[in-house]
Amino acid sequence: MATPDSTPAHKLSQAEIRSIIMGLMTAMFPGALDATIMGPALPTIGRELGNVEHLPWVISSYLLMSTASAPLFGKLSDIHGRRIILLASIAIFAIGSLLCALSPNIILLALARGVQGIGGGGLVSLCITIIGDIVPVRQRPRYQIYTSLMWTVSSLAGPVLGGFFAEKYHWSLIFWINLPICLLAYFMINNKLKKLPRHERPHKLDFGGAVLLVVASVLLQLALTSGGVRYPWMSVEILGTVAVGLLATGLFIWRLLTAEEPLVPLSLFANKVVRAASSATGVAMGVFIALSIYVPIYFENALGFSATESGLALMPLMVGSTFGAITAGRLMMRVQHYRRIPMVGMGISVLCILPMFLSPLGLPVILLEVLFGVASVGIGTVFPVSMISVQNSVSLHQLGTATAAVSFMRNFGSAIGVAIFGAIVISGGATAAGPHSGGIAMGQDLIGVFHWIFGAAMIGLILSIILISLMPEQRLGSRDEKSDVARMPK
């Protein structure tokens, strides 16, 4: 007999599962495209809207709001069902995209990106959660072609479209194209998701924790991007911002420890698989997103590429991660010690980035492309291994919250990565421009900055290797077997 918190509609056929997944891929596509299309357009946006030093906020505002909203959407989907919450995420993302396209300055663009990020926080995590609801762990490689195709298309199209729109037409087109895609996704999944099995549980939403997380992150990033540029590092303004940011961080930690249902349940992180896998993927994603944002600046300002050429040159970095994820997902089902896959993959990535660290301007473009591509393949291996491991280690009623927790760590790691790498670029650019220039250096003066960017990338990947090595390996499919036993008639 079905329990109130686990009520299957009817057994889904293979055709119904494929149909639902195709709809989910359409819903995920705008969020996936957003991760790849922004990089080549950022230098153009900075030149047209001014305030180049504020460019990191265009990325970070999205990441911070999606970080805070993803756990809330996960719990809302556990309470009210996946369908209605996913549809709401699509609508919010579309509204944010519209506001971004209409933004007249970089401050309003950053704020609009925050609105977009609220919806984006639900898009990817809820779609992955729904796949976990309807497809047993051992059967997921059968349907991986759909997710692989979606990520491949977004990885190929994003950099090219971003550079092309920014150079030939207008950068706002990178946001306008989200609107028809969101509308199509809405009509594709609205009725199909009514067939989903139900696993609702009551939850309390931690809006206070979400606000504290955003406030703490904004203040600390503000200190990172302003220190050494607008104010000296030891000035009252910077030290005061850091102090208030640390206070907000402390309050956020206190909230996690004392709230009845905190934004990110610490009890979930008592699970060693969740703790190690989510931390590893958060660090790796931080490196990957930061590289995807700042490598186009490297191409355009240090190497002299146009926006379109930068988009084309970025493709190996973006496509490689998809290939790495596909390969790791398939290998994971065939090997016993599957955590070794990302450990080896990211180890190769470190070796690929080392020559760029040693000689950021002395490498041929072809060799740079090969190194970026292979490094990206290695980084991509950690994402499916961490997500499937986490989903395999929790019960069905925790699936939405656990998946959202991984998305939380990925988004939080991305926000931190963009902030740290952005601080390196902005501080280094300001230093190269001179103390009285009042601006950020561009062109050949940025070469020394990217020496440190690639060094930071290596450090981050080494940390991710250490974290994934701490993840316990559980036999895949064990959660499904336990769930089958729990559903047997007593």
pLDDT in tens, 421-441: 888 887 765 544 444 444 445
159 pLDDT exceeds 60?
A: yes
Sequence-distant (≥ 6) Cβ neighbours of residue 173 within 8 angstroms: 101, 161, 165
**428/59: higher pLDDT:** 59
Residue 92's pLDDT is what? 96
Report the pLDDT value the prediction gives residue 363, as an integer from 0 to 100. 86
Percent of the chain exceeding pLDDT 70 equals 86
Contact status, residue 146 vs residue 18, Cβ threshold 8 Å: yes
3-state secondary structure 324-362: HHHHHHHHHCCCCCCCHHHHHHHHHHHHHHHHHHHCCCC
Report CA-CA distances (Å) from 131 to 49, 196, 247: 40, 10, 39
Report the mean per-residue pLDDT for the chain: 82
Report the topology of domain 14-197+263-487.
Growth Hormone; Chain: A; (1.20.1250)
**What pLDDT is stored for residue 172 in this prediction?**
93
- How many other β-carbons are positioned within 10 Å of the β-carbon of residue 340? 16
Summarised one tens digit per residue, pLDDT across range 404-422 is: 778 788 888 888 888 888 8
Q: Identify the band that residue 454 occupies on the pLDDT scale cut at 50, 70 and 90.
A: very high
User: Mean pLDDT, to the nearest integer, of 441-458?
Assistant: 76
Contact 59, 39 (CB under 8 A): no
Assign 98 a pLDDT band (cuts: 50, 70, 90). very high
Q: How far is CA 372 from CA 201, 315, 318, 360, 378, in A?
A: 44, 9, 9, 12, 10
pLDDT the model gives residue 410: 87
Calculate the dihedral angle through the C-alpha atoms of 80, 85, 86, 87, rounding to the nearest 10 degrees: 120
> What pLDDT, in 10s, does the model give residues 3-27?
444 444 457 777 778 888 888 888 8
Residue position matching structure tokens 């491949």: 152
pTM, full prediction: 0.78
Find the range with the poorest average confidence among 271-275, 448-452, 467-471.
448-452
What band does 243 get if pLDDT is binned at 50, 70 and 90? very high
What are the pLDDT digits (tens) for 258-279?
888 888 777 788 889 999 999 9
Please report the pLDDT score of residue 6 as a whole number: 47
91-95 mean pLDDT:
96
- % of the chain exceeding 90 in pLDDT: 27
Q: Which two tokens stand for residue 156?
A: 């190929």
Supply the pLDDT for residue 353.
Answer: 96
The Cα–Cα gap between 3 and 203 comes to 17
Which sequence spans correspond to the domains of the chain? 14-197+263-487, 207-262
| pLDDT at site 192 | 79
In this structure, of 137-141, 252-256, 435-439, the range with the lowest mean pLDDT score is 435-439
Lowest mean pLDDT among 87-96, 205-214, 239-248, 474-483: 474-483
Residue given tokens 């640390």 in the structure block: 246
Answer whether 385's CB lies under 8 Å from 341's CB.
Answer: yes
